[in-house]
Chain A
Amino acid sequence: MTTSITVTVPADNDRLTLVVAQPGSTRLRGFRLALDKNVAAALREACGTTVREISVRSEVTYAADVSYDVATQYLAVPAALLATPEPLPAGTDARQPAGHRDATTVETDPEARAILNAGSSLELLGATELRKRAFRFYAAIVGNDPNNRTSFVSRWNPYRASFAGRILTVYGEQLHRVTQPLLVFEPTFDMIVTSEGIAVLDKDAFEQIFRDITTMRNRVPVWTKQVVESLPLTEESAEMIRQASGKARVAQRLRALFEGGTLAGRKLSVSQLRDEMTNQGLAVERMIQGQQLVLTEDDVPTILKLLDEGYWKGWLTDVAWEAGSKSKRQS
């Protein structure tokens, strides 16, 4: 899929709102910070630097397991792929059949995007209220139309230095103690969120801000259900997958399978599984008993990787490989 997300350097007269997001026990809370025009100008410059950084890189469409060159490429998450889903009712078929990898969706945490959308209407956070707050990210939201602004997002806690209890000083003729809360910002941002999608320079930052598995845990049963229904599992093995889905890495694999559409509308047969497991040198005799798949807890990540086409053999050496990340071949 060819995508393009238009990003432009903010103009001097573009209004800028600075927001921070604090993770709570159950949800993310967004706040606005008041700022003077000098700080706004410096942040606007950081936005411009980020835009220029993206403009000289080539674009790669995001997928959960995509690999990209962090020095020369950026990831594009087009708005058409972005999804902020609600939990599906029981029995609902989550995805339509998909024959190829272009049919991906990218599920995101709705709270992070809601904070960016609220922007200048968020609660104002005073300096005295900063105490004991840790922030997951900050964002400069730029633009004069409150319904169509561009967000420059950084996975950085600007209050980290003060929060950590360090001795803060400023050096003039001599060192002076800084007693007011000190906020420190990065010279560039990790991603740009526009109405067309998200341009990502730092994939880990995107994953942590918009796709944190703990904030999306209400989606895990939906992802798990699709895998369980696609396989000829014993009831104990199905339960094993459900239990393993509580682990972040397993949940991420389940999400990648769901988003990629690999299993959508598919019901895999024992013979299909036996053939591929044999090809990849997995323990077929132990894992397939009768006409069912019998899994231990340790087998769950292996089977999920097999389903995600993460194993293959070298055609010359017959060496068994497994993929850490993948990049779709362009031709």
Chain B
Amino acid sequence: MTEIAQRARLFVGSYAGLFGLLAIRFDTRWLRFTCIGLTVLGIGLMAHIVFWVAGRTTEAEPIQLTQVEDAGADVSGYLATYLLPFLTVAEPSVRDVAAYALFLVIAGLIYVRSEMTQINPTLYVLLRRVLKVSTNAGWSGYVVARSSLKPDDVIDVVPLNERVRVEVRKGVQKT
């Protein structure tokens, strides 16, 4: 899968909650079902990453952490985009739908072309945390962690992309 496709997948996953809210808000039938579909797809993609790719198919590697920082604050800022559903009307006109779609396209472009890929509220819904870490051998990035981590912990991870890795269960050694 190309980097762009990977990021697009993360984007859809990260906005799964937003699509869910839109589904609740919209009365228009086709819009509601479209948003429900996107919600299910987004959650499914994230669940696939967290429970399938990370755990079963990809070879894990050990890393030792030297710095750990919670990226939760960044996630909170990201949640501001979730206000969109509360600005919508229940039965939007064609122009309203075009405006919402344009907003999502712009948000998607920014997401795919920036470092926002690691900010993903849906991962928190799946009981994961996003931590900003550095390793003893010089890598810095984000780890989708199963629990809180601290410096000197050795964890097994699988790569999601260059900047994001997912912690896997087996072989966790904590100091």
Which residues does A use to contact B, with CB under 8 Å? Answer: 13, 15-17, 32, 34-37, 39-40, 117-124, 126-128, 143-147, 149
Q: Is B63 an interface residue (CB 8 A)?
A: yes
How far apart are A182's CB and chain B's nearest CB, in angstroms? 17
Residues on B with beta carbons closer than 8 Å to the beta carbon of A146 = 62-64, 135-137, 154
Q: Which of B2, B61, B157, B173 contacts A128 (CB 8 A)?
A: B2
Give the size of the chain B interface in residues (CB under 8 angstroms). Answer: 26
Inter-subunit contact A15/B156 (CB<8 Å): yes
Inter-subunit contact B170/A13 (CB<8 Å): yes
Inter-subunit contact A15/B59 (CB<8 Å): yes
Inter-subunit contact A34/B136 (CB<8 Å): no
Q: Give the distance in Å from the alpha carbon of A92 to the alpha carbon of B144 in the complex.
A: 51
Closest to A141 in B: B61
Inter-subunit contact A34/B137 (CB<8 Å): no
What 10 A-B pairs have minimum CB-CB distances, sorted nearest first?
A121-B137, A121-B139, A120-B61, A40-B59, A118-B137, A124-B162, A121-B135, A17-B61, A146-B62, A146-B64
Q: Give the distance in Å from the alpha carbon of A13 to the alpha carbon of B62 in the complex.
A: 12
Residue pairs across A and B with CB atoms within 8 Å: the count is: 79
Q: Give the distance in Å from the alpha carbon of A132 to the alpha carbon of B99 in the complex.
A: 43
Q: Is B57 an interface residue (CB 8 A)?
A: yes
Inter-subunit contact B171/A144 (CB<8 Å): yes
Inter-subunit contact A124/B161 (CB<8 Å): yes
Question: Can you give 19 A-B contacts (C-beta < 8 A)?
Answer: A13-B170, A15-B61, A16-B59, A17-B61, A34-B58, A34-B158, A36-B58, A120-B62, A120-B63, A121-B135, A121-B138, A121-B139, A124-B161, A124-B162, A126-B3, A126-B162, A146-B64, A146-B137, A149-B62
